[in-house]
Amino acid sequence: MRALSWAYLALAYAFVFLPVVVLVVFSFQDGRLPVPPLRGFTLDWYAKVLADRKLMAALVNSLLVAALSSAVALVLGFLAAHALARVRLPGSALLRGVLIAPMTVSYLIIALGLLSLFNQIGIRPSLLAAGIGHVVINLPLCFAITYAAMGDHQKNAERAARDLGAPEWKVLALVSAPMLAAPLAAAFFLSVTFSWDEFIIAFLLTRFDVTLPVEIWSMLRSGLSPATNAVGSLVFLVSVTLVILLEILVFRRSK
């Protein structure tokens, strides 16, 4: 029975990570196609990718959109969570449901709705439009994580700060936010990860300045190449690095 459990676990891990392993291995292919047999190892494809100005520009765009949209979503999610956790409002449960609702909606539907809205109000497809879209999909995540972490001990500390004469903005900035540092960091890093990998919203809401997933899609239209594997490996490396930082800086500290 124990051997069967280990075999099942090994198959599950192989199912999840085998495509990534294949992607990384054939990014070093010394040939024109990332297909078996492996003809040798080379770093030429990584050098080609790093020397590609379009790819590097798309990389910078992705980092910019991910960082800024995640920061905005975090601030808005924190303020909304604090308000709904500390103030009794009519229909609070409904408001919480409305805030979390975008998590249950397809990104394609969100992107099409935002595209129609932006056309009506005069916002052209751009990195700004994509960033707003990423705020829409990440705000519910930030709200849910922050709201779940709020407890009575934060409420008592906030009440003490107000009794000592602290204005509300100082209570939020110097008491509430530091006490929720771990959940806020977790929400931010997860938002960056989702924004970094997101394609549908970025594809529909950008035109000339695009993010890295859109640029990778453009590369794939011309066929498979070890260069696309190299780009995918770099994207995977960044995503894994963010998750490791999240584990080291947030979860271990909270424990």
Q: Which of 54-63, 109-118, 123-132, 219-228 has the lowest mean pLDDT?
A: 219-228
**Closest Cα to residue 72, out of 142, 146, 167, 120?**
142
Mean pLDDT to the nearest integer, 39-54: 79
68-106 burial, b at 16+ Cβ within 10 Å, e below that, comes to bbbbbbbbbbbebbbebbeeeeeeeeeebeebeebeeee
pLDDT at 35: 62
DSSP 8-state code for residue 225: -
CATH topology of domain 53-254: MetI-like fold (1.10.3720)
pLDDT band at 41 (very low <50, low <70, confident <90, very high): confident
**Residue 33 pLDDT greater than 70, yes or no:** no
Q: Tokens for 151, please give them.
A: 């407890």
What angle, 0 to 180 degrees and rounded to 10, lies between the N-to-C axes of helices 212-220 and 53-86?
Answer: 140
Q: Which of 74-88, 205-219, 222-236, 241-255 has the lowest mean pLDDT?
A: 241-255
pLDDT tens-digit profile of 71-88? 999 999 999 888 888 777
Mean pLDDT to the nearest integer, 39-62: 81
pLDDT at 72: 95
pLDDT at 173: 80
Q: Which of 36-45, 122-131, 201-210 has the lowest mean pLDDT?
A: 36-45
Start-to-end CA distance of the chain, whole Å, equals 33
Helix or strand (DSSP H, E) at 191: helix 181-197
pLDDT band at 200 (very low <50, low <70, confident <90, very high): very high
Rounded to whole angstroms, the Cα distance separating 133 from 110 reads: 8
pLDDT at 139: 93
Q: Tokens for 26, please give them.
A: 């054939």
